[in-house]
Structure 1
Amino acid sequence: MVVLDAHCDAPSQMLRLRDYGLDNSHAQVDFPKMRRGGVDASFFALYVPASMQGEQATQYALRLLEEVDRQVAAHNDMVSYARCASSVRRNKSNGKLSVILGIENASAIGESFELLREFYRRGVRYITLTHSADNQVGDSCTGNHTWGGLSPFGKELVAEMNRRRMMIDLAHSSDDTMRDVLTLSSKPVAYTHGCCRALASHKRNISDELIRGIADGGGIVCMSIYPCFLDDGFVSVLDASALEEKMWIEDEFIKSPSDPVKVKAWNDLQDELNSLPRPGVSRVVDHIEHAVGVAGIEHVGIGTDYDGIEVCPCGLEDISKFPALWEEMRRRGFGRKEISMIAGGNFLRVMRDNRR
């Protein structure tokens, strides 16, 4: 069984001076934790904030990529890059973890197919079209519906990504943007991190209609573990705690990641967040079960959003706890083959299908 996490924000944490070769306290992901959790591969997302546009967005993505390059090279005894499904399996057989690159927010490429090709050459294998705001490609699910779906450039980008055999990621996209992509794409698409809107009403979650649409095109819908996506009740708990009003502490840490006072303040806030009553492993599997019921077992995967979320479910505080998912799935009657498909086999198949 190959275990693959379709989305984590490790590069952003690397930029905050975290050494991924060490077992870091308060870290949701690092290479030792991946090993302990039996996670063979992870997409490391080069996340570009929605506030960045143009050259600033491109340079920030390149800076993140260079940091991942540095850490993969520094720890090449335990990890290697993977560019395709077969290289993930080859790395596993050689006893190494796999890092695969994605870009989160197409602002990183502007309107340049040359930049798209350059990022592909350097290992990027999917692009999340939007993030928290509309961009030059299309509308975000939390944006202002500037385009009513894909922009004219966005429609050209879908065709070019299909030609380049680069996967399209619909997480963060508006419903209309997703519908446009599903109409235009000749390749299977991914929704790399989110949950089922039928179970929790968060704007970031995906409707059953669109889950079916992605599955009908041969794609995959990957369930996140973010408590706010999992359960509407946790959103109320978080609001009542007033801890979100302290998120400026993270901003201060990001500005000065070597300042021990700011590091401690951020770690203390994470401890407070993880002391709240949170949904647990069973709620994650609720969403997996629902997605399987809508899409079919062949079209569901896992995309945690680790290192991009401030709080985790009870029992899944970091990536080393992944086996708890498989245990709960077995308890509910999922067989070994079904778990293997959801754990990573389905995503590897979508990777292969995009290369055809």
Structure 2
Amino acid sequence: MNDLHRRSVVADTHNDLLCAVVSRPVEVWSDFFRERWLPQLRAGGVDLQTLPVFIDDPYRPEGALRRTLRMVEAAHRLAEGNPDDVALCRDGAEIDAALGGGRIALVLALESAPGVGEDVELLETLFRLGVRVASLAHFGRTALADGSGEDATGGRLTKPGVAAVAEMERLGMLYDVSHLGIAGVEHVLELATRPVIATHSSARALFDHHRNLYDAQIRGIADGGGLVCVNFFAPYLHATDFTIDRLVDHLEHIVGVAGIEHVGLGPDFVKEVLADTTPPCCEVDVVEGVPANEYLPGLEGPAGLPLVTEALLRRGWAEPDVVAVLGENVRRLYRAELGRPA
């Protein structure tokens, strides 16, 4: 591992490993995490890991809340079962304590929050359980907002969606605009009085896919003190050239628009998660019109993260800038905002 990478705080703002954990029997959740995922996180030098709670289609809408609670419980159990290696953190002080003790700081997030629906008061329930980041749409439409796959509707936030922004700001829960539609992102930026985050989004100026952000959106997030954490999923970076250079292109573009202090890493490693959760009978080849089996070589999972540091140094990045994007920016935002009431 590169020495600079080893010395840096490395933060990943989107890894769906909880989906893989809950696909196993409850009695092996902690062991499965320790045996399958912990070695990869350690090999990649990950110090701060955001864990999204993503609810698959079969559980929506009726089983969404039960599935959400089960995944939240899985996060607590894998932390309690591996207390020397990880800690579930609710604020900056707990993150600092975990990192100071050589443990990986875990932060719980909601991805699209189908278990909440219009019952915005449930955000406080989930906050009590440790959730500190949330997005309120995925590809499609929810009770709160339209996802990026519904851009043609021009939909902004619904009335409950507007209430959700206010509630999250009151609690000290970061609003995540990744997956939100164009009009929804603009609406959030109009409403927000606290920083927001895009946990796994790349640059639409470089590749025109609805999951990527326009420069104006990136600039708006930065102007509010927030972060854009770049997605590594190859088909969102380029049509055919699935290489780490294309990832660096997106990082450099977003740094140029937002400023170095407003950029982080949101890899969205899906290869192993799909393998762990998809029966052999029905392998997923396409997700929302893009190939699901194309990955950046060496960056199929968290163990490859040192390759990002090496690629940035090859491009001539100054060491302080590499350190900022690897994780210090995320650590600073989380320290300032997580769990801090308005």
Tell me how far 1:194 sits from its aligned partner. Answer: 1.8
Match of 1:258 in 2: none
Structure 2: gaps of 5 or more residues: 1-7, 274-291
Query: Do 2:226 and 2:262's aligned partners in 1 also have CA atoms closer than 8 Å?
Result: yes
1:126 aligned counterpart, secondary structure: strand
Question: Which of 171, 175, 185 is the matching residue for 1:164?
Answer: 171
Alpha-carbon spacing, 1:295–1:151, altered in 2? closer, same or farther (3 Å): same
- For residues 83 and 72 of structure 1, what CA distance do their matches in structure 2 show? 13
- For residues 189 and 50 of structure 1, what CA distance do their matches in structure 2 show? 26
Give CA deviations for 1:224-278 in whole Å, capped at 9, x if unaligned.
11011111226xxxxxxxxxxxxxxxxxxxxxxxxxxxxxxxxxxxxxxxxxxxx
Match of 1:347 in 2: 330
Tell me how far 1:152 sits from its aligned partner. Answer: 1.0
- For residues 57 and 300 of structure 1, what CA distance do their matches in structure 2 show? 32
Query: Do 2:218 and 2:228's aligned partners in 1 also have CA atoms closer than 8 Å?
Result: yes
- For residues 145 and 126 of structure 1, what CA distance do their matches in structure 2 show? 27
Q: Using the TM superposition, name which of 221-230 and 139-148 deviates more.
A: 139-148
Give CA deviations for 1:14-54 in whole Å, capped at 9, x if unaligned.
012271101x3xxxxx1111111111011111102356545
Match of 1:108 in 2: 115
Query: Do 1:38 and 1:322's aligned partners in 2 also have CA atoms closer than 8 Å?
Result: yes
Question: Which of 294, 317, 321 is the matching residue for 2:257?
Answer: 294
Query: Do 1:169 and 1:190's aligned partners in 2 also have CA atoms closer than 8 Å?
Result: yes
- For residues 140 and 58 of structure 2, what CA distance do their matches in structure 1 show? 8
Give CA deviations for 1:108-162 in whole Å, capped at 9, x if unaligned.
2122233111111111111111012111111111027667211111111111111
Question: Which of 86, 93, 106 is the matching residue for 1:79?
Answer: 86
Q: TM-score, normalised by structure 1?
A: 0.82
Q: Using the TM superposition, name which of 199-208 and 169-178 deviates more.
A: 199-208
1:67 aligned counterpart, secondary structure: helix
Aligned pairs (5 A) from 1:235-246: none
- For residues 85 and 352 of structure 1, what CA distance do their matches in structure 2 show? 4
2:228 aligned counterpart, secondary structure: strand
Match of 2:162 in 1: 155
2:150 aligned counterpart, secondary structure: coil
- For residues 161 and 145 of structure 1, what CA distance do their matches in structure 2 show? 27
Q: In the alignment, residue 249 of structure 2 is paired with which amino acid?
A: D
Alpha-carbon spacing, 1:353–1:8, altered in 2? closer, same or farther (3 Å): same
Match of 1:250 in 2: none
Query: Do 1:50 and 1:132's aligned partners in 2 also have CA atoms closer than 8 Å?
Result: no
Give CA deviations for 1:320-340 in whole Å, capped at 9, x if unaligned.
111110111111121221111
- For residues 353 and 7 of structure 1, what CA distance do their matches in structure 2 show? 19
Q: In the alignment, residue 47 of structure 2 is paired with which amino acid?
A: D
Q: In the alignment, residue 310 of structure 2 is paired with which amino acid?
A: E
Query: Do 2:175 and 2:197's aligned partners in 1 also have CA atoms closer than 8 Å?
Result: yes
Question: Which of 5, 10, 22 is the matching residue for 1:3?
Answer: 10
- For residues 2 and 186 of structure 1, what CA distance do their matches in structure 2 show? 28
> Is 2:240 the partner of 1:304?
no
Match of 1:40 in 2: 47
Give CA deviations for 1:148-197 in whole Å, capped at 9, x if unaligned.
21111111111111111110000110010000000001110001102111
Aligned pairs (5 A) from 1:86-235: 86-143=93-150, 148-233=155-240
Query: Do 1:50 and 1:105's aligned partners in 2 also have CA atoms closer than 8 Å?
Result: no
Query: Do 2:117 and 2:142's aligned partners in 1 also have CA atoms closer than 8 Å?
Result: no
Match of 1:329 in 2: 312
- For residues 158 and 66 of structure 1, what CA distance do their matches in structure 2 show? 25
2:23 aligned counterpart, secondary structure: coil
Query: Do 1:220 and 1:301's aligned partners in 2 also have CA atoms closer than 8 Å?
Result: yes
Give CA deviations for 1:50-89 in whole Å, capped at 9, x if unaligned.
5654552111111111122222222222111111233222
Count of residues paired in the alignment: 306
